[in-house]
């Protein structure tokens, strides 16, 4: 099968990482795979798959030029599936499908929603108006699917949930690596929490910092590492004095998340909204204690293998983090094993790739010439 994935960019984000992982799995399965990205990002996930970069400008003429280049590539590549992700790419792919629909060999169009919030009413209206141009619409969590159906962005009978998958081979705990990284990071014996994600409003880092300030009253030696790029203003914290004064270490953009997870003791997500946060699943695969806000598909992912608290409630977040730290070493290991077992059984990328492959086959077999 020939599959073309279309993304807004290859920037360092969970959706982009998930798509690349899925695309590479499909290539390993023997499918012919390529990617189209609408715009350039300063920092990108690496991939050895062929990538067409359109570098579209946000103007009518820029979009038309992008559609023309994409059409020419599609005609040469001859994909059976166009699988797009996130709003800009989803809308672009629907328009591209119109351009290609005159051909009897036009590919099937599959759109994936990655968040419960993909924009305001105008974006939802565009989703609703162009819905007939997509053959399938999927969401990474039940919460995201239900919200888009509720907003009438897509009909319930067209929506399907296919959750994110975790590379459980790569995300496997290693005691020797943990010891080595902690020594390198000068971690000592203190309990370390890790938060991963862009410094953006969705992640609600001010909520986390308020919670951590409460936690430090009971455990002054505890440290919080924050790994992610973005505007430091979102932290509402002076990074120059953050570690010495507040026990917060700003790590910036990191590509060694596996190593950081190994080195830390707990993972915390303070988001105000999400789809199905990949970082939480990766932390679970690494047998970490997880404390996360009840947003998007977090509860679906964590279930009873971690701590889930209301969003925007720093007191509840602090209490859950303190509760996790109060567990004995044996109890922590038990919770960590439970978390990894859940990922292995329900959210492995291998299983998710099989599910996507089944949908692709069903879609192409149901296609009429």
> What pLDDT, on a 0 to 100 scale, did the predictor assign at position 367?
54
Q: Could you report the per-residue pLDDT of 320-346, keeping only the tens digit for each?
A: 999 999 999 999 999 999 999 999 999
The whole-model pTM stands at 0.91
Task: Please determine whether the domains at 2-165+349-365 and 175-346 fall in the same fold group of CATH.
Answer: yes
> What pLDDT, on a 0 to 100 scale, did the predictor assign at position 241?
67
Q: Could you report the per-residue pLDDT of 211-237, keeping only the tens digit for each?
A: 999 999 999 999 999 999 888 887 877
SS3 for the chain is CEEEEEECCCECCHHHHHHHHHHHHHHHCCCEEEEEECCCCCCECCCCCCEEECCCCCCHHHHHHHHHHHHHHHHHHCCCEEEEECHHHHHHHHHHHHHHCCCCCCCEEEEEECECCCCCHHHHHHHHHHHHHCCEEEECCHHHHHHHHHCCCCCHHHEEECCCCECCCCCCCCHHHHHHHHHHCCCCCCCEEEEECCECHHHCHHHHHHHHHHHHHHCCCCEEEEECCECHHHHCCCCCCHHHHHCEEEEECCCCHHHHHHHCCEEEECCCCCECCHHHHHHHHCCCEEEEECCCCHHHHHCCCCEEECCCCHHHHHHHHHHHHCCCHHHHHHHHHHHHHHHHHHCEHHHHHHHHHHHHHHHHHCCCC
> What pLDDT, on a 0 to 100 scale, did the predictor assign at position 104?
56
Give the whole-number percent of the chain exceeding pLDDT 70: 97
Q: Could you report the per-residue pLDDT of 58-92, keeping only the tens digit for each?
A: 899 999 999 999 999 999 999 999 999 999 999 99
What is the average per-residue pLDDT within 263-279? 96
Q: Could you report the per-residue pLDDT of 94-127, keeping only the tens digit for each?
A: 999 998 876 656 899 999 999 999 989 999 999 9
> What pLDDT, on a 0 to 100 scale, did the predictor assign at position 235?
80
> What pLDDT, on a 0 to 100 scale, did the predictor assign at position 233?
81
Mean of all residue pLDDT scores within the chain:
93
Q: Report domain extents, the chain.
A: 2-165+349-365, 175-346
State the CATH architecture for 2-165+349-365.
Answer: 3-Layer(aba) Sandwich (3.40)
Pick the CATH number of 175-346 from 3.40.309.10, 3.30.10.20, 3.20.20.70, 3.40.50.2000: 3.40.50.2000
> What pLDDT, on a 0 to 100 scale, did the predictor assign at position 242?
77
Q: Could you report the per-residue pLDDT of 291-320, keeping only the tens digit for each?
A: 999 999 999 999 999 999 999 999 999 999
pLDDT band at 369 (very low <50, low <70, confident <90, very high): very low
């Amino acid at each position: 099968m020939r599959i073309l994935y279309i993304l807004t960019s290859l920037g360092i984000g969970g959706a982009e990482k998930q798509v690349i992982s899925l695309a590479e799995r499909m290539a390993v399965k023997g499918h012919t795979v390529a990617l189209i990205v609408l715009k350039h990002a300063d920092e990108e996930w690496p991939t050895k798959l062929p990538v067409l970069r359109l570098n579209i400008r946000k103007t009518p003429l820029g979009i038309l030029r992008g559609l023309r280049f994409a059409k020419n590539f599609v005609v040469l590549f001859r994909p059976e599936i166009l699988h797009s992700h996130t709003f800009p790419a989803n809308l672009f792919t629907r328009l591209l499908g119109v351009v290609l629909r005159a051909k009897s060999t036009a590919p099937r169009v599959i759109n994936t929603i990655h968040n419960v919030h993909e924009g305001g009413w105008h974006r939802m209206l565009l989703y609703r108006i162009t819905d007939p141009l997509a053959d399938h619409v999927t969401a990474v969590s039940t919460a995201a699917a239900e919200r888009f159906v509720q907003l009438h962005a897509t009909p319930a009978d067209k929506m399907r949930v296919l959750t994110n998958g975790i590379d459980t081979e790569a995300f496997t705990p290693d005691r020797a690596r943990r010891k080595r990284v902690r020594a390198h990071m000068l971690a000592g014996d203190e309990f370390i929490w890790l938060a991963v994600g862009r410094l953006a409003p969705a992640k609600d880092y001010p909520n986390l910092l308020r919670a951590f300030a409460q936690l430090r009253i009971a455990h002054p030696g505890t440290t919080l590492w924050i790994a992610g790029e973005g505007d430091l203003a979102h932290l509402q914290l002076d990074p120059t004095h953050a570690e010495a004064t507040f026990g917060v270490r700003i790590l910036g953009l990191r590509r060694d998340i596996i190593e950081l997870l190994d080195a830390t003791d707990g993972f915390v997500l303070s988001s105000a909204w999400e789809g199905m946060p990949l970082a939480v699943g990766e932390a679970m695969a690494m047998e970490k204690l997880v404390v996360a806000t009840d947003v998007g598909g977090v509860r679906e992912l964590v279930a009873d293998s971690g701590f889930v608290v209301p969003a925007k409630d720093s007191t509840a977040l602090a209490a859950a983090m303190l509760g996790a730290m109060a567990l004995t070493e044996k109890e922590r290991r038990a919770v960590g094993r439970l978390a990894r077992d859940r990922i292995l059984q329900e959210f492995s990328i291998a299983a998710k790739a099989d599910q996507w492959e089944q949908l692709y086959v069903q879609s192409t077999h149901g296609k009429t010439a």
